[in-house]
Structure 1
Amino acid sequence: MLNRRTFTSVAALGATAIAAPFVYAQAKLEKTKVSIAVGGKAAFYYLPLTISEQLGYFKAEGLDVEISDFAGGSRALQAVVGGSADVCSGAFEHTINLQAKSQYFQCFVLQGRAPQIAMGVSTKNMPTYKTIADLKGKKIGVSAPGSSTNMVANLVLSRGGIKATDVSYIGVGVAAGALTALRAGQIDAISNTDPVMTMLEQKGDVKIISDTRTLKGTQEVFGGPMPAACLYASSEFIQKNPNTCQALANAIVHGLKWLQTAGPGDIIKTVPETYLLGDRALYLASFDKVREAIAVDGLVPAEGPKTALAAIGSFDNTVKPEKIDVDKLYTNDFAKRAKDKFKA
C-alpha cells in the first residue's frame, strides 16, 4: 500500500521519470498492454517467460501481457520488426543480425545464460555417422529457418567444413512435431531445444554431436559465455517506454528468482500440461539437464555479447564484427534494478 507521503513523492517524480532512470520502478507505466512475440514457448529456452506469466508476475507489475507463440524465433522476430508485437522473447543473437541490417534492437533482460540447444543425428537414418562431413546433402530439422537452432547448426557445420547451403533446413517446431519428424525419418539430423532433445536422446532416436545445454558444453562450443533467450525490443520502444520495460524486466527477474529454488513438482504444477509432451518423467529429466543454463538475475555477462558476435561472424558473411557496436546490443540497467528489488 502507498501512504500519502509516498504517493505524493511518486506523483512528483512521474514527470521526470524519463530523465531520471532510477525512479522507473515507481513511475507510471507508459503502456500497460504489451504484446510479446515468442518462437516456441513450450521449450525450456523460454521457461522464465512462462513462469512469470503463469504465476501472475506480469500482472503484479501492472502489465496486461499478450503472448503470441510462433513456430520459431525468426518468426517472432519478424512480428516485432513488422510492428505487430512490441517486444520479442527471443535469442540474443538476433540483436546482432538486426544491427547488421541497420536495425537497432536491444536486449533488456536475460532469460538464459546458455543456448540450451543440442544437435543430434538420427540413429535410424544415419546409423553409420562418423563425422560432421557426413551431413553434407542431408535434411536437418530446426525450430524454424533463421532461428537460434539454425544458427547453432550453422556453427557446428562450419567447423566441419560444411556450408549452410550444403544441407536442407526444415522447420519442425519445438514440440511434438519435432519428435514426429525425426522418428518418421523425415529429417536426418536435428538441432533443437529441450525437452525435445532429451526425449529423443533417452529413447535412442538420436546421437548427440553438439551440446550447449550446460555451461561447460557452451564454453566448448562457443569459447565463452553465450547469452541466449532474452526480452529485446527496438531501441526506440525502450526509449519511449522505460517504465514499461522496467516492469517487464521485474516480472522476468521475479520468475528467475522463483526458479532458483523451485523443485520438479513446482515446475510440473506451473507449466501447461501440453508442455510435458505426454511424459512427465522425461520432462523433468530434461529440466535437470538445462537448469544451470537458466539465467539467475537477468544480467547479460560482460563477455557474452563478444562471444555471440565472434560465433556469428565466423559463418555469416552478412555480419561484419568490426561494424557492430556491442554496447548497443543490450542494456543491464533494467535487470540491475530488478535484481535489487527481488534480491535475485
Structure 2
Amino acid sequence: MQRRTFTLAALALPALAHSQAPAPEKPQVTLAVGGKNLLYYLPLTIAESLGYFKAEGLEVTIVDFAGGSRALQAVIGGSADVVSGAFEHTINMQAKGQKLRAFVLQGRAPQIVLGVNPKTMPGFKTVADLRGKKIGVTAPGSSTNVMVNFVLTKAGLKPSDVSIIGVGAGNGAVAAMRAGQIDAMSNLDPVITLLQRSGDLKIVSDTRVVAEADRVFGGPMPAGCLYAPQAFIDKHPRTVQALTNAIVRADKWIQAAGPSEIVKAVPESYLLGDRAVYIDAFLASRGALSPDGSVPDAGATTALRALLSVDESLKSVNFDLGAVYTNDFVKKANARYPKG
C-alpha cells in the first residue's frame, strides 16, 4: 500500500509540472518507428507505457514498421510527423535535399549485432567468409543494413558481394535464422539474445558494448533518436519540447530501473515468449542506451564517416553536420527533469 501511494503521488508531479508549461501547438502527433519491440527503442516504449507523453499534453499515435527505412519513408511521405529511428538517416537524407533533424537521443551506441548461423556456416572464421551468403536485416536500407555494409567494407568486401534479405525485428527474424533461410544476421535485442541462448547465432560484432561500438566506428556512434523535418520543428517547437521531455524522462527511468520493472513496463509480446531472455537482453543493452538524451558532439562526424565508407556517392556532398541534430531541447528537458 505504501509503494502504491508513493507511485500515485509521483505520477501527479508531472501532471502538475505540465499544467505550468505552455501547451504543445500540436497535441496529436503521429510517430513512425521500425521495430518498436526492440530494446533499441525501449525509451519510446517506456515513455508511452508510463504516461510520459500524456503528462506533457500529447496524444502520440505510434505506427510500427518492419524497419527504420520504412519509418523514414512515412515521415517523408507525410503520413507521420516524427520518426523514432537511427541517427544516420538525418545525414543520408541531407544528401538528398531533405532537412531532417534529431532532437533527442535514445541510444548512445547502435546495439546492432552481426552474427552468423552455426548451422549453415559451421566453419566460419572471418567476415570474408560471408562472400556470396544471405544476410538478414530488419529491412533493406535500415541501420542494420548499414552496419552490415560497414563491417563488410572494413573486411575488403563490397555490399554487392552478399544478398541482403529483410526479415523484420521479431519472431520472423528468429524463424528465418533457425530454418537456415539466412546465413548471417544483423539485428538487435531481444532477437539476438534469444538466438544466442538457443545456440542459433555466433556473434561476430557486438555494438551493444559501447567500447566495441566506439572501436568499430572510430568514435561515438549515436543510434536511436527522435528526428523530424526541420519545418515541423520550426513550426511546433513546444510539441518537440514535449516529446523530448518524455524521452529524457524515459532515458533516466531506464537507467535506474531493475529488470523486473522493465519487464512489467513493456507489452507481453515483446518478451518473445521468454521473460528470462528479455531480461538478459536488457542487461546486455542497457549500457548502450542514452542516460540523458544528449547527442555527443562527435557523433555526427562518426556517423558520416561510417556512411562515407559504404556509399561513394556521398563523398561529393558538402554536409552541414550542425543541421542534423540539436541538443537545445534536451538541455531544457534535463533542467526540468533533473532526476527523470
| Corresponding position: 1:57 with 2:52 | yes
Render the CA deviation track for 1:193-236: whole Å, top value 9, x for unaligned.
Answer: 01111111122111111110011111111111110000000000
CA distance in 1, matches of 2:47, 2:316: 34
Structure 2: give runs of 5+ residues left out of the alignment.
1-11
Render the CA deviation track for 1:47-101: whole Å, top value 9, x for unaligned.
Answer: 0000000000000000010000000000000000000000000000000110011
| Corresponding position: 1:232 with 2:208 | no
Task: Name segments (4+ residues, structure 1) moved above 3 Å.
Answer: none
Instruction: Work out whether residues 142 and 190 of structure 1, in 8 Å CA contact, stay in contact via their aligned partners in 2.
Output: yes
CA shift for structure 1 position 27: 2.4
Instruction: Work out whether residues 107 and 288 of structure 2, in 8 Å CA contact, stay in contact via their aligned partners in 1.
Output: yes
Change (3 A) 1:321 1:212: farther
Match of 1:193 in 2: 188
Match of 1:163 in 2: 158
Q: Percent identity?
A: 60
Instruction: Work out whether residues 114 and 293 of structure 1, in 8 Å CA contact, stay in contact via their aligned partners in 2.
Output: yes
Structure 2 residue identity aligned to 1:46:
Y
Match of 2:308 in 1: 313
Match of 2:147 in 1: 152
Render the CA deviation track for 1:270-325: whole Å, top value 9, x for unaligned.
Answer: 10000000111111011110101110111101111111111111111232276111
Superposed CA RMSD in Å reads: 1.6
Structure 1 counterpart SS, 2:312: coil
| Corresponding position: 1:286 with 2:281 | yes
| Corresponding position: 1:80 with 2:75 | yes
Structure 2 counterpart SS, 1:30: coil
Structure 2 residue identity aligned to 1:317:
E
CA shift for structure 1 position 167: 0.9
1:172-251 maps to which residues of 2 (within 5 A)?
172-251=167-246
Q: 1:32 aligns with which of 15, 27, 37?
A: 27
CA shift for structure 1 position 165: 1.1
Structure 2 counterpart SS, 1:324: coil
| Corresponding position: 1:140 with 2:135 | yes
Structure 2 counterpart SS, 1:266: helix
Match of 1:256 in 2: 251
Structure 1 residue identity aligned to 2:27:
T
CA distance in 1, matches of 2:40, 2:113: 12
Instruction: Work out whether residues 95 and 317 of structure 2, in 8 Å CA contact, stay in contact via their aligned partners in 1.
Output: no
Match of 1:22 in 2: none
CA distance in 2, matches of 1:319, 1:339: 35
Structure 2 residue identity aligned to 1:179:
V
Structure 2 residue identity aligned to 1:304:
G
| Corresponding position: 1:43 with 2:38 | yes
Instruction: Work out whether residues 309 and 321 of structure 1, in 8 Å CA contact, stay in contact via their aligned partners in 2.
Output: no
Instruction: Work out whether residues 27 and 239 of structure 2, in 8 Å CA contact, stay in contact via their aligned partners in 1.
Output: yes
Please say which of residues 202-211 and 138-147 is displaced more in the overlay: 202-211
CA distance in 2, matches of 1:190, 1:164: 14
Aligned residues between the structures: 324
Structure 2 counterpart SS, 1:116: coil
Instruction: Work out whether residues 115 and 226 of structure 1, in 8 Å CA contact, stay in contact via their aligned partners in 2.
Output: yes
Instruction: Work out whether residues 249 and 337 of structure 2, in 8 Å CA contact, stay in contact via their aligned partners in 1.
Output: yes
Q: 1:271 aligns with which of 266, 274, 278?
A: 266
CA distance in 1, matches of 2:136, 2:252: 33
| Corresponding position: 1:341 with 2:336 | yes
Instruction: Work out whether residues 121 and 189 of structure 1, in 8 Å CA contact, stay in contact via their aligned partners in 2.
Output: yes
Render the CA deviation track for 1:240-287: whole Å, top value 9, x for unaligned.
Answer: 000000000001011112112110110111100000001111110111
Match of 2:8 in 1: none
Match of 1:98 in 2: 93
Instruction: Work out whether residues 111 and 298 of structure 1, in 8 Å CA contact, stay in contact via their aligned partners in 2.
Output: yes
Structure 1: give runs of 5+ residues left out of the alignment.
11-24
Instruction: Work out whether residues 32 and 63 of structure 2, in 8 Å CA contact, stay in contact via their aligned partners in 1.
Output: yes
CA shift for structure 1 position 36: 0.1
CA shift for structure 1 position 26: 2.9
Give me the TM-score of the superposition, normalised by structure 1: 0.92
